[in-house]
Amino acid sequence: MRVTSVSETGTTFSNPVIPGFYPDPSICRAGDDYYLACSSFEYFPGVPILHSRDLVHWTQIGNALDRPSQLRLPPDTASSGGIYAPTLRHHDGRFWLIVTNVSGDGNLLFTATDPGGPWSEPIRLPGVHGIDPDIAWDDDGTCWCTTAGVGQIRLDPHTGETFGTRRQLWSGAPGAKAPEAPHLYRIGDYWYLLIAEGGTERGHGVSIARGRTPTGPFEPCPANPILTHRGADHPIQNTGHADLVQGPDGSWWMVLLGVRPGGGTPGWHVLGRETYLVPVEWVDGWPVVGDLSPVLPAPSWPLQPPAAPPQHRDDFDAPEPAVQWISLRQRPAEDCTTKQRPGWLTLRARGGSLDDADVTFMGRRQQHRSCRVRTLVDAAAGQGDGGLAVRLDESHHYSVEVTSGQVRVRARIGPLNTVVASRPTPPGPVVLRVETTPVATVNDPRSGPDSVSLGFEEPDGTFVELASLDGRYLSTEVAGGFTGRVFGMYATAGTVHFDWFDYEPLED
């Protein structure tokens, strides 16, 4: 959640409106409520669903794919595989979610009466090819599915049957790579086809075309791309993968992904691709996107922040993990439970290290560039090894762990895997701690975006820093892929118990 502030010019809001690893946003409106879905890749549960009453303050209310029957991620699912680019729509009294599982199941469709869940079992779409599927209904009820490329096919959303052959609609600017993320809308007298192009890196952008029917032909906007920061000296980069929504006063808004690079050249982003909000005006039948900035004038309607602030601490008193917790590829109850030792999270090891795809791990997204994460771990009670990690993928992670009478810091950077520092374990359960601190100024073009400090706390609360590591090696620019950092607890041998987990933002 981003908190509004009052400035001399009136009420403003801060971008990103959903910070951290919440990419590929798709939005819909139902009455006075707004709902948004994002990609989740190799993490389980999948497709976080967020709710807002004002487009600025968002609360995660669930995950659409929270059962193994809905989300099959084989053990060999690669990091940045899994679930790509959902489209979320409200039509005929129901919510519809169409998405791609690139790790085996292809395109899938789900429905719900309550977007917070439960969602249906998947309707398989064997006749829909390509990623980033979109779903839209014509005036006569005909359903059209459009995918990256950009191609389209008629679909029966109740059965998954397709009709005819996929036909090409429009591929954006000549020569532009990766035309993707299509969304089709009926607005006024036209059907509008919104796409992303240029790739999801620095060349990312948003373009649009219009036609008189949902099948085209489509005329490109003469001002394309209608939004891009390619080649611009701007703190928000990689802007694209957008979706449109109308506000309660008739105004129009766009949600999109972007990143906040830090450090020197080429700039590293570590939180993943985040969700931003920007106003849109219509001029001569075309959308004109406002300036995307870290601080923007708020919408004209009253802002309605959540009744309770977001909870950054979990004492594991609930019978099931809260909705913000994510695991890798699966979360068997026998390996991850709060019921074995009441008031504690108990993790039972499967994989032998964080380098393994099947490691027992439960974490939450890093949402602030400066933050402190702490957890109280009792490894001795379960005769296990485990700890606290900041993870990007199996080949890029830092951790502080309790093992064999030692507290040690381990770093995995590509092929390099080493113990950086270690100390004897203090008696009893141990508070492990990780802090991230952004680089204040870039005096050296080679400087990284932040530092990651790892260590433990003495019984009196004194922080013992075992290592401070360069954060660039846990960035997308180094590791590749589509995800952002996740802080998590893990077990690599035996059983490990965690009494609480606390995430403390250290910046506004």
pLDDT digits (tens, 9 = 90+) for 391-432: 999 999 999 999 988 999 999 999 999 999 999 988 889 999
* Residue range(s) of every CATH 2.115.10.20 domain in the chain: 21-234
Among residues 100, 154, 160, the alpha carbon closest in space to that of 126 is found at: 160
- Report the distance separating Cα 209 and Cα 357, nearest Å: 42
- Judged against a pLDDT cut of 70, whether residue 5 lies above it is answered with no
CB 77 within 8 A of CB 94: no
pLDDT tens readout for residues 448-469: 999 999 999 998 999 999 999 9
- The total number of residues written for the chain in this structure: 508
Q: What does the alpha-carbon distance between residue 451 and residue 456 come to, in Å, rounded to a whole number? A: 17
Which residues are designated catalytic?
A: 24, 180
Instruction: Output the CATH code of domain 21-234.
Output: 2.115.10.20
Looking at every residue in the chain, the average pLDDT score rounds to 94
Q: Count CA within 13 A, CB hemisphere, residue 65.
A: 36
- Model pLDDT, residue 382: 67
Q: How far, in Å, CA of 84 to CA of 106, rounded?
A: 10
The pTM is what?
Answer: 0.96
pLDDT digits (tens, 9 = 90+) for 137-196: 999 999 999 999 999 999 999 999 999 999 999 999 998 999 999 999 999 999 999 999
Task: Indicate the fold that domain 313-505 takes in CATH.
Answer: Jelly Rolls (2.60.120)
- What pLDDT is recorded for position 216? 95
Q: Where in the chain is the domain with CATH 2.60.120.200?
A: 313-505
Instruction: Tell me phi and psi for residue 479, to 5 degrees.
Output: -85, -25
Residue range 82-95: mean pLDDT, rounded: 98
- Give the model confidence (pLDDT) of 284-343 as tens digits: 999 999 999 999 998 989 888 877 777 799 999 999 999 999 999 999 999 999 999 999
Q: Is 223 exposed, middle or buried (0-12, 13-18, 19+ CB in 10 A)?
A: middle
Average pLDDT over residues 251-274: 97
Q: Are 229 and 292 a contacting pair, CB within 8 Å?
A: yes
Cα separation of 451 and 437, whole Å?
Answer: 5
